[in-house]
Amino acid sequence: MRITDIIGKKRDGKELSTEEINFFTEGICSGSIYEYQASALLMAICIRGLNSRETADLTAAMARSGETIDLSEIPGIKVDKHSTGGVGDKTTLVVGPIVAACGVPVAKMSGRGLGHTGGTIDKLESIKGFRTSLSREEFIRNVKEIGIAISGQTGNLAPADKILYSLRDVTATISSIPLIASSVMSKKLASGADRIVLDVKTGSGAFMKTLEDSIELAGEMVSIGELTGKKTVAVVTDMDTPLGNCIGNALEVKEAIEVLKGNGPDDLKTVCFELAARMLELGGKGDIAACRELVEKSINNGSALKKFGELAEKQGAVYEPWDKRAMQEAIVRHPVTAPHEGYIYCMKSELVGKASMLLGAGRETKDGKLDHSAGIILYKKTGEYVKKGEIIAELHTSSRHLLPEAEAMLVQAYDISSEAPQTRPLILAYVDSSGVVRY
Looking at the fold, whether 172 and 49 belong to one and the same domain comes out as: no
Mean pLDDT of 418-427: 92
Kindly state whether residue 128 falls inside one of the protein's structural domains.
yes
Highest mean pLDDT among 101-115, 260-274, 362-376: 260-274
Contact 409, 357 (CB under 8 A): no
CATH number at residue 388: 3.90.1170.30
Q: Are residues 238 and 291 in the same domain?
A: yes
From the CB of residue 412, how many other CB atoms can be counted at a distance below 10 Å? 13
Q: At what angle do helices 249-260 and 303-314 cross, to 10 degrees?
A: 140
Instruction: State the average pLDDT over residues 170-199.
Output: 91
Per-residue pLDDT tens for 238-297?
A: 999 999 999 999 999 999 999 999 999 999 999 999 999 999 999 999 999 999 999 999
**Residue after which a domain boundary falls, among 64, 89, 113:** 64
Share the mean pLDDT of the chain.
93
- Half-sphere exposure (CA, 13 Å, Cβ side) for 181? 30
- What pLDDT band is residue 113 in, cutting at 50, 70 and 90? low
% of residues, the chain, pLDDT over 70: 97
pTM score of the predicted model: 0.92
Indicate whether 69 belongs to any domain: no
264 assigned to some structural domain: yes
- For 18, the domain range is 3-64
What was the pLDDT predicted at 175? Answer: 82
Do 8 and 128 share a domain, yes or no? no
Residues 217, 151 share a domain: yes
22 lies in the same domain as 39: yes
Give how far Cα 372 sits from Cα of 30, 117, 341, Å.
38, 14, 33
CATH number at residue 25: 1.20.970.10
Same domain, 206 and 266: yes
139-164: pLDDT as tens digits: 999 999 999 999 987 668 889 998 99
Domain membership flag for residue 37: yes
Residues 296 and 205 in one domain: yes
| Number of structural domains the chain divides into | 3
Instruction: Tell me: do 204 and 342 sit in the same domain.
Output: no
CATH number of the domain within which 116 lies: 3.40.1030.10
Residue 176 above 60 pLDDT?
yes
Q: Answer yes or no: is 95 within a domain.
A: yes
365 and 292, same domain (yes or no): no
Q: How high is the pLDDT of residue 67?
A: 87
Residue 152 lies in a domain: yes
Looking at the fold, whether 300 and 367 belong to one and the same domain comes out as: no
* Residues known to be catalytic: 82, 161, 168, 183, 187
Is residue 256 assigned to a domain?
Answer: yes
Same domain, 58 and 201: no
72 domain residue, yes or no: no
Backbone angles phi, psi at 363, to 5 degrees: -125, 145
DSSP string covering 93-108: HHHHHHHHHTT--EEE
Residues 6+ apart with CB under 8 A from 433: 222, 223, 226, 231, 232
Buried b (16+ CB within 10 A) or exposed e, 214-225: bbbbbbbbbbbb
Distance CA 116, CA 402 (A): 16
The answer to whether residue 115 scores a pLDDT higher than 80 is no
**pLDDT tens for each residue of 39-54:** 999 999 999 999 999 9
Let me know whether 293 and 390 are in one domain. no
Q: What is the DSSP letter of 114?
A: B
